[in-house]
């Protein structure tokens, strides 16, 4: 059973080691908030920092910043103030490096504000810095599907986290992580359509199962022009990979799929990221068929089953 999402703070606490705490060595006073350190002295967790002293995050996972959303954020800040401070770490030259909150920092700069409220925390390694940035953005759901997939991939390659580790940190199923990363196998044209919300993740996942690059793009155009549903695309893909052979009718020993069997098909389809057929006979017995359309697809399914067994 997946864990309920409990918010950004706990996700970061689970990721960071105990040594990564609020940086209280050089507090910048804003007001005494009454927090006590281990030796009983008061210190401030939040500070107002000059925006000119904050460098961009070199590990920023976001590549798309919507201008309309940024304008809405500026209006909100002007009317209500900044609800959530940005998060930064100190650098050796006395300045700061942004960990999270680039949109908020951009909004402050465009408005013309010279100082911004910030949490100052201690982050010593590149891996912790990268993981903080990625997981903060993932949990806030501010990334598009391709940015999320790239973030998961970077957590694996640059932070040496397994898919199981990532699933634990972000509070999602391992299959969700696997299916997300698979989106990066798609041609750039399809990835861009997904980023522009011209197609959904369901459409994109169906297109992964087509080997031909040309056929992928052909169906992509059809999805956009004819507004095809995910189920329609799955049917097209299935026929392509089976050479257009129609699905056989149920035999006399088989019974039409019940509501429960149909629900099971949908659940298994989401888990395995491919077509799953469930057939039940009149005596209660039956079969579950998990389809794959390439050797890479088979290898992915094998790895997925092995991870479930583990």
Nearest to 138 by CA among 148, 130, 129: 148
Higher pLDDT among residues 12 and 45, named by residue: 45
Q: What is the spatial distance between Cα 125 and Cα 138, in angstroms, rounded to a whole number?
A: 20
pLDDT reported for residue 115: 92
Per-residue pLDDT at 198 exceeds 90: yes
Per-residue pLDDT, averaged over 62-90, amounts to 84
CATH architecture of 21-122: Alpha-Beta Complex (3.90)
Contact indicator for 46, 118 with CB cutoff of 8 Å: yes
**Three-state SS at 306:** helix
pLDDT in tens, 256-296: 556 677 778 877 877 777 778 888 887 878 888 888 766 66
pLDDT reported for residue 294: 66
Per-residue pLDDT, averaged over 10-29, amounts to 42
Per-residue pLDDT, averaged over 161-169, amounts to 84
The model's pTM is 0.56
CA 126 to each of CA 1, 14, 19, 159: distance values in angstroms, whole numbers, following the listed order: 32, 17, 15, 9
Q: What is the spatial distance between Cα 106 and Cα 56, in angstroms, rounded to a whole number?
A: 10
pLDDT reported for residue 9: 38
- CA end-to-end distance (rounded Å), the chain: 15
Show the tokens assigned to 109.
């700069």
pLDDT in tens, 43-73: 335 788 999 999 988 776 666 667 888 888 8
Return the domain boundaries, the chain.
21-122, 186-247, 254-309
Average pLDDT, the chain: 76
pLDDT reported for residue 78: 93
Per-residue pLDDT at 147 exceeds 90: no
Contact indicator for 44, 30 with CB cutoff of 8 Å: yes
User: Model confidence at 30, in pLDDT bands (50, 70, 90)?
Assistant: very low
pLDDT reported for residue 256: 53
Contact indicator for 133, 167 with CB cutoff of 8 Å: no
Catalytic sites, residue numbers:
102
């Amino acid at each position: 059973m997946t864990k309920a999402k409990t918010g950004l703070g706990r996700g970061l606490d689970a990721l960071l080691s105990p040594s990564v705490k609020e940086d209280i060595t050089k507090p910048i006073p804003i007001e005494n908030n009454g927090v006590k350190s281990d030796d009983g002295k008061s210190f401030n967790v939040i500070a107002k920092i000059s925006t000119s002293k904050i460098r961009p995050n070199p590990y920023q996972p976001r590549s798309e910043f919507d201008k309309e959303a940024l304008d809405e954020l500026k209006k909100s800040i002007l009317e209500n103030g900044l609800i959530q401070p940005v998060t930064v770490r100190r650098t050796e030259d006395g300045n700061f490096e942004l960990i999270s909150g680039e949109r908020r920092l951009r909004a402050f700069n465009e408005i013309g504000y010279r100082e911004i409220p910030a949490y100052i925390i201690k982050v010593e390694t590149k891996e912790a810095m990268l993981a903080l940035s990625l997981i903060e953005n993932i949990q806030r759901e501010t990334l598009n599907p391709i940015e999320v997939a790239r973030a998961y991939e970077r957590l694996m390659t640059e932070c040496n986290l397994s898919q199981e580790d990532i699933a634990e940190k972000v509070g999602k199923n391992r299959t969700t992580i696997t299916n997300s990363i698979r989106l990066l196998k798609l041609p750039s044209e399809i990835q861009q359509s997904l980023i522009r919300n011209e197609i959904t993740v369901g459409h994109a996942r169906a297109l992964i199962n087509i080997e031909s690059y040309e056929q992928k793009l052909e169906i992509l155009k059809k999805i956009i022009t004819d507004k095809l549903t995910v189920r329609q695309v799955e049917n097209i893909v299935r026929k392509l990979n089976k050479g257009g052979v129609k699905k056989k009718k149920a035999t006399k020993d088989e019974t039409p799929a019940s509501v429960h069997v149909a629900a099971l098909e949908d659940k298994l389809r989401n888990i395995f990221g491919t077509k799953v057929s469930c057939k039940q006979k009149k005596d209660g017995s039956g079969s579950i068929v998990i389809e794959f359309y390439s050797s890479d697809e088979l290898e992915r399914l094998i790895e997925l089953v092995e991870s479930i067994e583990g």
